[in-house]
Amino acid sequence: MTHTIEHTGPGAPAAQSDTMLEVSGLNGWYGESHVLHDINLRVGSGEVVTLLGRNGAGKTTTLKAIMGLLKTRSGSIRFQGHEVIDTPARSIAKMGVGYVPDDRGIFGSLSVLENLLLPPKVAEGGFDLPDIYELFPNLQERLDSYGNKLSGGEQQMLSIARILRTGARFVLMDEPTEGLAPVIIHQIGHTVRRLKKAGFTILLVEQNFHFARELADRHYIVQEGRIIDEFRNDEVTENLDKIQGYLGI
Ligand SMILES: Nc1ncnc2c1ncn2[C@@H]1O[C@H](COP(=O)(O)OP(=O)(O)OP(=O)(O)O)[C@@H](O)[C@H]1O
């Protein structure tokens, strides 16, 4: 069945009580190196929430820990009320959590279509191919191209598109704008806005504060593996100096 995103409602964030993700006291390690320290964060259903911070702050590691890709972790990660701290990544994906990694994870020796069809469906209601082509017309034109022949922007779109196909409704996105030209960043921003309108929940890691500010409902500031502050998007203007100080911009 075609998933008509144009006809979906305005997608205002759901009530505070409707929690998609609740992380409490999350700690994470790479070997002996203690990288995440008592991370607490919450993402409501239908919200776009960002993790902002300088290089090496621990943003990617936080996403990996939530997705189950960082195995040495402790604390609590609840997805729609279910504790997943001991759940492997494969099972977390099956619960409807999609992950768009910072390296985009495209297989260079597979075509666009093969890359699109690769991740297994996890839920009904995912985008079918016409939905994807409507959202990303460039991908339809490049269906037979190999992944390694795509531009950075096309790879990013493919990486997002294949997650949408799976039926995941909660998407973790790691720096989707990294290294892309302004016109492509604009297109990615347009995509995130449409997904929000269609009711998706998004946890977004970003270095590009201006991009994050255009899209997000709330922001968490990550520094040295800790959440040190948080802001609603409508509090950003009055806290701009503070935020720019945190981010070093
Ligand atoms: N595979 C790894 N093994 C050991 N240490 C790592 C590994 N990956 C990241 N780190 C370290 O963990 C810390 C957090 O890194 P992380 O990649 O989560 O930061 P980030 O905020 O996402 O920054 P960036 O935007 O640069 O990716 C850094 O000190 C980094 O050097």
Predicted pLDDT of residue 17? 52
Distance (Å, rounded) from C-alpha 67 to C-alpha 132? 24
> Is the pLDDT confidence value at 249 over 90?
no
> Is the pLDDT confidence value at 116 over 90?
yes
Pocket perturbation via mutation, ligand 1, pick of 32, 37, 54, 59 by most ligand atoms within 8 A of CB: 59
- Pick from 187, 195, 110, 194: nearest CA to 152: 187
Q: Give the pair of three-digit tokens for residue 171.
A: 């998407």
For the chain, how many structural domains are there in total? 1
Q: What is the CATH number of the domain that holds 71?
A: 3.40.50.300
> Is the pLDDT confidence value at 140 over 80?
yes
Residues with CB under 6 A from ligand 1: 30, 33, 35, 53, 55-61, 207
Q: Is residue 240 part of a domain?
A: yes
Nearest protein CA to atom 1 of ligand 1, as residue = 30
Q: Which residues pair with 82 in a beta bridge?
A: 79
> Is the pLDDT confidence value at 9 over 60?
no
Whether the model clears a pTM of 0.80, i.e. scores above it, the answer is yes
Distance (Å, rounded) from C-alpha 139 to C-alpha 89? 27
Average pLDDT over residues 96-123: 93
Alpha carbon distance, N-terminus to C-terminus of the chain: 46
CB 43 within 8 A of CB 21: yes
Predicted pLDDT of residue 10? 36
Q: Is residue 7 part of a domain?
A: no
pLDDT one-digit tens code per residue, 23-79: 999 999 999 999 999 999 999 999 999 999 999 999 999 999 999 999 899 999 999
> Is the pLDDT confidence value at 8 over 70?
no
Predicted pLDDT of residue 11? 40
Domain limits for position 90: 19-247
Q: Please tell me the distance between residue 121's alpha carbon and the centre of ligand 1 in angstroms.
A: 30
